[in-house]
Structure 1
Amino acid sequence: MLQRLLLNRKGIATAILPNNAIAAVRFLCSADFSREVEKMVENGDNRVTRVLFCGPHFPASQNYTREYLQNYPFIQVDDVPLGDVPNSISNYHICVVKNQRLDSEVISRATQMKLIMQYGVGLEGVNVEAATRSGIKVARIPGNVSGNAASCAELAIYLMLGLLRKQKEIEIAVKQKRLGEPVGETLLGKTVFIMGFGNIGIDLAKRLRPFGVKILATKRSWASDLPVSCQPNEIKTQSDTIDDLVDKKGGPEDIFDFAGEADIVVACLALNTETAGIVNHKFLSSMRQGALLVNIARGGLLDYRAVLSHLASGHLGGLGIDVAWSEPFDPDDPILKFQNVLITPHIAGVTEYSYRTMSQVVGDVALQLHAGIPLTGIEFVN
């Protein structure tokens, strides 16, 4: 079997099977990369490439990246409080934004910056035009090769099942020593509307199929085939075509009709000017009485007042969210007082697999930038 080489954190080439997505991405320059990094280590390179992680949240991102780069003293990884980023950003060559907002004023201070990237896919907080004017590249880590999309899809199912089986009522029943209640529901036979059929939506549809559900999905434009997935142990269907995953396809104009057909709506859209607040009073009113809403994308997709109103009226049968309107979410928010609301602290993509994989991407990008060779494993948006 053919093998591909991937530089590990000790500078030694490690054999990786071809179905490993990261090995596939990095193989393009792995031989030159290995020689260049080994040369830098041997020569005791005095130059330092500095990587800035913004803020204290999602701590595994900087911790795993430091661990991956621990044997490369010429790469410095720092995490800086959000309020200190504007005054510190001029010292860094790479910025991993996390949930920091980088506007034109902050970007203008990034005088040494070569790359702004996300530890994942969401770049809505970055002024890409300002970065482009400053000669700074902006990139994301593709979710379909990092494990992020798969992790998000799994959490979506976790939230669906938690709502269907009435997780909060279960916890009360345990405390009160009651057996055989509450009576929950199954995913079997349900209709699920995936709003936004990108990498997460595709992975979600693959994982939902075995539950015996009907799947509706919308996206701006439909290609004839699915994107190629390189994930190890990927769930396979009988065919890799979208037609095998989706029972009904639609566009943005179909979201209200699809919402009216679905038992569960899952928001998987990117947040932009067109999608902000898309789940509003009109959308929620178009949903079936008692239907469930799950959001694993961005909190800004949901109109807060509309969601609160439809929970209070009982029209919305349950809400499962991993993202909120402002984060960290206020634990005293009125929405959390409803028994049919589940919230997780923005952990959809935070798994050992996806975070270890993304730390390798960030680490290798830092090494590539330091070596002055093309950057691989990331998707540029400018």
Structure 2
Amino acid sequence: MRVALKYICEDVDRHGNVRCYVRAPGKRKVRIRALPGTPEFMEEYQAAIATAAEAPLRQADEAKRGSFRHLCIRYYSSAIYKALDGSTRNWLRRALDEIAQEHGAKQVATMQARHVRRLRDAKAEMPAAANQRLKALRALFSWAIEAEETKVNPTIGVKKLRYQSNGHHTWTNEEIQQFCERHTLGTKARLAFDLLRYTTGRREDAPRLGRQHMRDGRVRFRQAKNEHRNPIDIDIPLHPALGESIAAAKVGANLTFLLTEFGKPFTANGFGNKFKDWCRQAGLPHCSAHGVRKATSTALAEAGATPHEIGAITGHTSLKEIERYTKAARRGELASQGMSKLIGKTTA
């Protein structure tokens, strides 16, 4: 059964190949190159729809060369921006458009570091959001300087806000057991958890996995993060517990193991929201999909895996993050070794 998607149209080239496009009124048609029915197809389709559905920019701002809004428009149409992953483009655009709502008509040439600091500090109550806003501005002006769209870079010298954060909560063994008791083998929630746990995938990866990634006793897939700029291919043994979970879930012949209630593949955001629902059902509202990845990384470190062994499983290219897991995991062991040397050496 075929489901009609809004704005989708098809034509046939001279070789007889069917080509799919998104053609929205008043917009240029966008080619969808992925195979229909695959998660990649839906991702391309949703990105094209999001672009087509954007509210028209005010003509005054758009025509005003040299304005912040005009610079953003130029950035969004650049090859640098288009080469970014969809999730990266989304948060960059949200951050820049939020600034443009209030300051879009202002001239970029008059923008100084103090203005950037004010924009950063406007979100000081949420330091992570403040730093993300600064990061978006840095990306914009880094491109603008290289593209000779402006001669000033007001982000130079502006520092991130310093704050204490441990990032996503790392699942404990007790929390893992609590989740598994609530979501037993055979359920969609349990399969989602096991995919995250035994592949160390992110929320973008788990909903893309299917039988085509499980062959010859191994799991092979390309991580979604930075797949268009710095792709990381994962090739790890299939954990027996994951194989058992897949068999118990009785998934069909779909290209993805996990499907929504409507029989469609999850988007990354949709999966993240659904997984949070499953966590709340298990009484774990503070837990997240990314925290499962951190838990497995920690478990590997506690089992004595080297940083390079962990990196081969998680896909980390920098040892800095891996070493943090390793040090935290070995802290108790090192403390015991240190205290054992002190015992019997103290004097009254």
| Structure (1 or 2) with the larger CA radius of gyration | 2
TM-score, length of structure 1 as denominator length? 0.27
Structure holding more helix per residue: 2
TM-score, length of structure 2 as denominator length? 0.29
Structure holding more strand per residue: 1
